[in-house]
Structure 1
Amino acid sequence: MPRRTATMLASTLMLIALLCAGVFFPVPYSEMSPGPTVNTLGEHDGEPVLQIDGRKTYPTDGHLNMTTVRVTGADYRMNLVEAVYGWLAHDNKVVPHETLYPDGKTEEESTQENAEEFSQSQESAKVAALKQLDVPVKSWVIVSTVVKGSPSEGRLHAGDVIKTVDGKTVKEPADVAELVTEHKPGEDVVFTIVPAKEQAAAEKANRAPTKTEKVTITTTDSDDGGEKRAIVGISAGTDHTFPFSIDIKLADVGGPSAGLMFALGIYDKLTPGSLTGGKFVAGTGTIDDDGKVGPIGGIEMKTVGARSKGAQYFLTPADNCASAAQDTPDGLTLVKVDTIDDALGALEDIRSGDTADLPKCAVS
């Protein structure tokens, strides 16, 4: 066989081998891409996204779209060819697998966590919107989660209302950890609670709960790698009672990043006039009960998804602005927001057409 032919054959075989390796060799990466975007003022799967009963609502127009990101599953193993293609694709982003699924989380665990965050974001969106409207909301501290195998398992339950710790009144979720860590590991801590079932029955009957219980739990050592401290194995959160019904109908979505857009949608429906002036506004951002907007992941995917659906303006958390501004889709204006007040002020400028002074995102 001539040397030239042999060389070409060897090169071809090597190329085939490399391609096969690329197809079959898994790499520790996952992919993010633009996901669906839904108008919080409109319908999804034939139902209004925001359903409000017991309070006067007003007609709305335009768009206040929440945005999402698609990600590959926890069990999906990307091969080298897919990773290279993803790196080259403009609208996709390849990231280390552990970025999306830290600590070896399964897809089921990640889905559950995202569902809990989504539920909490809805509650905070309702509270933030109603506070903006000076509508009173009753709040209390609850057991949010109980760690499996912890001293609290079987003693405290998700939804239990925490009234006191060691006789000291609990006003904020942070109070619980602060009071528990006053103990040394191995010491007892006494919780006064309203059991979750009693709280639910009281809410349903529109009365104050009448039954409380004292639960004594022996603390244990923390094992998170930080400074050793006493823990009982729960996380505390906040629950609320609203003076009227606000229901958010949106399935197959997880995570906390739609909080801002839900809050604005609720505000728009509860106030006369159009918040958008008929414009197509999309956005993202977590929100807390006081209306503070927080950063999210996948901002580049969300701006692409929003613009592809026709968005003209994108409400962007301040901490995401620099990243989003590095590759802004043509025709989309990124508006920097840090609070719900910022967002409402920006929307006032957008609907009036006076957008010269909008706080726009810029590359730092």
Structure 2
Amino acid sequence: MTLVVALALLVGLGAGSLLLPLPYLVAAPGITVNTVGETEEGPVIEIGGAESYEHEGSLSMVTVQYAGGPQHRLNFFGVVTAWLSPTEAVLPEELLFPAGRTPEEVSERQTVQMNDSQTSATAAAFNELGMEYEAVPVVNGTVEGMPAHGEVDEGDVILAVDGEAVPTVSGNGSEEAVGSTAVVDRVGDREPGDPVELTLDRDGDTVDVEIPTTEGEDGGAAVGVLISDRMDFPVDVDITIGDIGGPSAGMMFALGIMDRLSEDGLTGGVDVAGSGTITSDGRVGGISGIPQKMVSAQRAGAEYFFVAADSCSQVSQSAAYGELEVVRVETLTEAVDALDTIRDGEGELPRCE
């Protein structure tokens, strides 16, 4: 009787443990949105103040759908089922929900990243098209314990570094760094410990502050100022995609904006999807979830998938590997050149090695 009871309890405990919530996420293929198409809310990219065009073909952003998380944890069966699936992946929960951050904070951060990616995509597209815009470097805050803390205020506009005015006009064909990029480059162009003089516009008053530098995370000189660019574009670009967050659609937004502003379409009627972040100067960055995003693209009928060079290592892990023509890009210019090659049907496309 003791053995029977013990066995029953063991089986019960074992079965119960299979239903316990586990700290894992499941990543699955998500939705695909054509950036030059329309949703129920209207055009994804709408241009105001300039002629815009519609063309055949598609330039689609792709997403990953996550299940699990601190508020909706999966059980053993859900995790094992996903682990056995060729199109899904099981990930540690902290990759999306770092310790100390609430789900609400994570969601807010993803919204900010999406908004920033749209601004950067607009700037990158204008740079590629040779359209001028203004990028004014504004202080968002300072890092406590760093030299600039207490010397520079949130909202200050950085006018000059070491007495040399910060250029703010971009998109005019010049390769000169502008705005926040120029500020970072100039501050870093000295030995850690050497001082830097910043000329600031503080509520309409011009203020000069001299700040000692220290060694930053990359080994260069830094002062601990957090800055971003206040963009003034000559054309209104409105991007509407609902509740999708994160920065990974930046490259496809930039291509979509260019397609809308170009009399001749970029794709030549071909369906292209892709994923990669974008900076205002057109650098394409890597992103996670490429295996699932490739499946999303394949299911949506894409013929080509553009991937950041930094994400090439993920390509062979996808169930759609071999079903899509994968194109490696490092800059927006390279992405445009690849579209030219696809449209013309001549030349070779850069591949992931």
TM-score normalised over the length of structure 1: 0.78
Query: Matches of 1:349 and 1:225 in 2, distance apart?
Result: 40
Rounded Cα–Cα distance in structure 1 between residues aligned with 2:183 and 2:11: 59
Task: Give the letter aligned to residue 348 of structure 1.
Answer: D
Q: How much does 1:155 deviate?
A: 6.8
Unaligned runs of 5+ in 2: 167-177
Alignment CA distance shift 1:64-1:231 (3 Å): same
Structure-2 change in CA distance of 1:54 and 1:22 (3 Å) = same
Does structure 1 residue 193 correspond to structure 2 residue 200? yes
Per-residue Cα deviation, 1:199-254 (whole angstroms, up to 9, x for no partner): xxxxxxxxxxxx235387999999x9999x9855x411223211121121223122
**Structure 1 position 260, deviation (Å):** 0.6
Q: Which secondary structure does the structure 2 equivalent of 1:23 belong to? A: coil
For the structure 1 residues 33 and 176, does the alpha-carbon distance in structure 2 shift closer, same or farther, using more than 3 Å as the test? Answer: farther
User: Are 2:121 and 2:280, in contact at CA under 8 Å, matched by a contact in 1?
Assistant: yes
Shift in CA distance, 162/145, structure 1 to aligned 2, threshold 3 Å: same
Contact residue 129 and residue 263 of structure 1 kept, 8 A: yes
2:107 equivalent in structure 1:
111
- SS across alignment from 1:157: coil
What is the CA–CA distance in structure 2 between the aligned matches of 1:219 and 1:180, rounded to whole Å? 11
Distance 2:165 2:70 in 1: 42
User: Does the CA-based 8 Å contact 1:260-1:284 persist in structure 2?
Assistant: yes
Write the mapping of 1:162-311 to structure 2, written as runs, cut at 5 A.
162-164=158-160, 169-170=165-166, 172-175=182-185, 178=188, 192-194=199-201, 211-214=204-207, 234-311=225-302
- 1:262, CA displacement in angstroms? 0.6
How many residue pairs are counted as aligned between the two chains?
A: 336
Equivalents in 1 of 2:49, 2:76: separation in Å?
A: 55
Instruction: Pick closer, same or farther for the CA change 1:336–1:225 going to 2, 3 Å.
Output: closer
Deviation at 1:261, TM superposition (A): 0.4
SS of equivalent residue, structure 1 residue 268: helix
Q: In the alignment, does 2:317 pair up with 1:320?
A: no
Please say if 1:59 is aligned against 2:54. yes
Task: Point out the more displaced range, 293-302 or 88-97.
Answer: 88-97
Q: Deviations over 1:310-330 (max 9, x none)?
A: 112111111212311233516
| SS in structure 2 of the partner of residue 104 of structure 1 | coil
Map 1:111-190 to 2 at 5 A. 111-145=107-141, 156-157=153-154, 160-164=156-160, 169-170=165-166, 172-175=182-185, 178=188
Cα distance change, pair 149–54 in 1 and its aligned pair in 2 (3 A): same
Q: 1:139 to 1:100 in 2, by over 3 A?
A: same
Unpaired runs of at least 5, structure 1: 199-210
- Would the alpha carbon gap of residues 270 and 226 (structure 1) be closer, same or farther in structure 2, given more than 3 Å must change? closer
SS at match of 2:19: helix
Provide the identity percentage: 36
